[in-house]
Structure 1
Amino acid sequence: MKKHFQNLIIALVAVLTLGVISPNHEIWTNLQPKDDTREANLPTTSKHDLQLGLEDSIFERETFEPSLSIEDVLLHPAKELAYLKFGSRIGPVIQNEFDSNIFPKIEEVIQQTVASTGGLENRMLAISEYPSGDYAEKMFHVSDTENAKDLIRFHVRTEKRPLDGYFYNFHYHTAEDGFTVHHSLGDIHWSKNTPPKWLS
């Protein structure tokens, strides 16, 4: 009965405090009688081994620093924003060609930019938060968060070519040339029909 009462009190404390405060287990050890056989039946060597295991743990010896990975900080968010811009109507049609032909070139440009700026350890680079919709070009921008300036702007433009139909032209602009020059990444053919709007 005492065990059920203890469990009830633990559950009540957890519910009332929404799990923020956990009950102190020292209370239960002080409530147990000194001649309780449950403690006496535990072998002393396992408690000692457990303490040695914790002291020798890798967590004790190493301090973990968050490592800045270009994949986590720039490349994965870039791909997610590209898919977000494509939406559910364009994405499934062009995804395979985008993954195999266009995105490896985007990765290369981002890696070259990171290397030229001194790496993620020296510059805080980030991906813009949201692509533009309708027929606007913006996919995402890579910017320097310290001075709030764009370094690269990745865009996709819908082009209608006579006799061939509609194409998506993937390109980027850099701060080095004042974002005026189109650096082409490649084209993906849509069809002769008018494509849907971005984000649709």
Structure 2
Amino acid sequence: MIPQWIRKSLVACVAVLTFGTVIPTLPTHDLDKQNDKQNIQKPRSTVAVRDFESRPLSEEPNRDDTQLSKQELIDGFSIYAVNEAKKQGAEKFGTRIAPKINKQYSEQIVPIFAQAVKEIGDMHNSLWIRQLEVTHDPASGLGERIMHVYNKQTGKEVLKLHVRRDHPPLDGYYFNFHYHTALDGFQKHHEIKTIYWGKNMPPKWQV
């Protein structure tokens, strides 16, 4: 069975490759209405992409994950992890924190975490990469967890994307983004970026 993130990556890739070339078939009743109005127009390429993305899985490209190279698997999972990290980060930050830090998080922090995903993928074979998945339960309150990457087959965690609240003496509040990796037994804090919040205590995470 093809992991969900591989299916999503294949759809995204083929949608880009077929941009402007896939022409969806309009239902008969819609075509009749257009004929009545004498206003038939050529479908735009954006419609073709949406049509492809909305197809059931049975209509997706006939290509299973065993045909993907190791690099394609790494790239595909990295894209999936990036999208999930952005989504789950926004959920964790909530409506009060997100407007202030989400842009820096998406543009400067998530890409570095994606590099960590690729680095650990390079250390393993294709079979292992196919078993990767991400958690979907960011920590609320004062918890650090944004998202973890783990191996579905073994249940072992591989990477941890965290954010810590720092309040140095006589200073304001900061958000320290970092990750932990199984490559060093999760012993080190791999610093990504610290974002200044302000003098006042930030609200708790709102997941």
Category of TM-score, reference length = shorter chain? 0.5 to 0.7
Preserved contact between residue 78 and residue 114 of structure 2 (Cα < 8 Å): no
In the alignment, what sits opposite 2:89? Answer: 82
For 1:131 and 1:63, locate their aligned partners in 2 and report how far apart those are by CA, in whole Å: 33
Match of 1:36 in 2: none
Please report the TM-score for the alignment, with normalisation by the length of structure 1: 0.63
Q: Provide the rounded CA distance (Å) in 2 between the counterparts of 1:159 and 1:90.
A: 15
Residue identity matched to 1:130:
D
Q: CA deviation at 1:193?
A: 0.4
Q: Is the 8 A contact 2:120 2:183 kept in 1?
A: no
Q: CA deviation at 1:63?
A: 6.1
Which amino acid in 2 is paired with 1:153? K
Residue 183 of structure 1 corresponds to which residue in structure 2?
A: 190
What stretches of structure 1 of length at least 5 have no aligned partner? 1-61
Deviation per residue, 1:118-151 (Å, 9 max, x gap) = 3477431011111000001111100011101001
Distance 2:153 2:135 in 1: 14
Classify the secondary structure of the residue corresponding to 1:195: coil
Instruction: Pick the structure with greater CA Rg.
Output: 1
Alignment size in residue pairs: 139
Contact 2:82-2:110 within 8 A present in 1 as well:
no
Change (3 A) 1:194 1:119: farther
- 1:119/1:170 CA distance change after superposition, 3 Å: farther
TM-align CA RMSD: 2.2
> Which secondary structure does the structure 2 equivalent of 1:117 belong to?
coil
Q: Which residue of 1 aligns with 2:111?
A: 104
Instruction: Report the identity percentage.
Output: 35
Contact 1:127 1:143 in 2 (8 A): yes
* Match in the other structure for 1:116: 123
Cα 1:184/1:144, change in 2 over 3 Å: same
Partner residue in 1 for 2:175: 168
**Normalized against structure 2, the TM-score is what?**
0.61
Task: Give distance in 2, aligned partners of 1:153 and 1:79.
Answer: 14
Aligned residue for 1:131? 138
| One-letter amino acid matched to 1:186 | K
Q: Unaligned stretches of 5+ in structure 2?
A: 1-59, 66-72
